[in-house]
Structure 1
Amino acid sequence: MAHVTGDSRTWIYQLVKRYNKWGTKSLGDGQHHNQGQEAILTDLQQAQLWQVLCEKSPDGGLWNGRQVADWLSDIMSGSIGLV
């Protein structure tokens, strides 16, 4: 089964164990209940970011993560780290 689905054998065993304990409701994707974290940028800031990204970067080339983080730090008055 793991070969057919592309999932690991361990994950298949976990699914079978959950199914045996809770039935078909255990097989659904529970992440659709997770709304996630609130956006860090306001709608206006997001619009400004998209506008800036459509232009050339400060060095005239393509934007990179460091340049975006620097730009965000400027508009948010704080440091933005790269992940």
Structure 2
Amino acid sequence: MQLAQHQRRPRLELQLRHHPDHLHALYRESQDQTERARWHALWLLARGQSIPEVARNLGYTDRWVRQVIHRYNQGLPMKNLRHENKGRAPLVPPELQEPFRQALLQPHPRDGLWSIRHAAEWLAERLGRPVDGRRAWYWMRRLGLAPLRPRPRHREADAKRQEAFKKSSF
């Protein structure tokens, strides 16, 4: 049986595009913590420290330092780009939120009570696309409202017995 030989990874070299003093300035001026840590690691590497030394000095792993070197060598930004992600636009745009709220405060034109289905239909008409009832519920709650409907009653409920129970339970 023949075993595969272990191959060493090629040596990872920092391809400096900045002078070490410039790396130090970038490290000192950075406001973002992630970006600052990355510039700090690069500055220490440019000053001649090894990957394990930098990892130990900064409290990170060797793997993290290697990822920073790869990132720098590829010309990727040192910033934490998650902070710049604005996210998806809200389902109900700001100019439609107040009209939606005002519509919900009025009685529904069909039967007087707003249901989730009614709210979803109202939004779908204004937005020009189908709206799921869960999204309508979310926006009703977000605007501080909830659909009003009477509590369900059992078909065979006896009103006299229920009144008697209420009186005797206090």
When normalised by structure 1's length, the TM-score is 0.51
The aligned length equals: 50
SS in 2 for 1:39: coil
Question: Which residue of 2 is the match for residue 77 of structure 1?
Answer: 128
Identity of aligned residues (%): 24
* Structure 1 segments of 4+ aligned residues over 4 angstroms from their partners: 35-38
Equivalences for 1:1-83 in 2 at 5 Å? 38-83=89-134
* Structure 1 residue 59 displacement after superposition: 1.5
CA RMSD of aligned residues (A): 2.0
* Structure 1 residue 60 displacement after superposition: 3.3
Shift in CA distance, 43/59, structure 1 to aligned 2, threshold 3 Å: same
Q: Deviations over 1:11-46 (max 9, x none)?
A: xxxxxxxxxxxxxxxxxxxxxxxx986421111110
Q: Distance in 1 between matches of 2:106 and 2:121?
A: 16
Q: Distance in 2 between matches of 1:59 and 1:36?
A: 36
- The answer to which structure has the higher helix fraction is 1
Code of the aligned partner of 2:105: C
Question: Which residue of 2 is the match for residue 3 of structure 1?
Answer: none
* Structure 1 residue 80 displacement after superposition: 0.6
Q: Deviations over 1:52-79 (max 9, x none)?
A: 0111102232100000000000000000
Code of the aligned partner of 2:92: L
- Consecutive unaligned residues of structure 1, counting only runs of 5 or more, are 1-34
Question: RCO greater where, 1 or 2, for CA within 8 Å and sep 6 or more?
Answer: 2
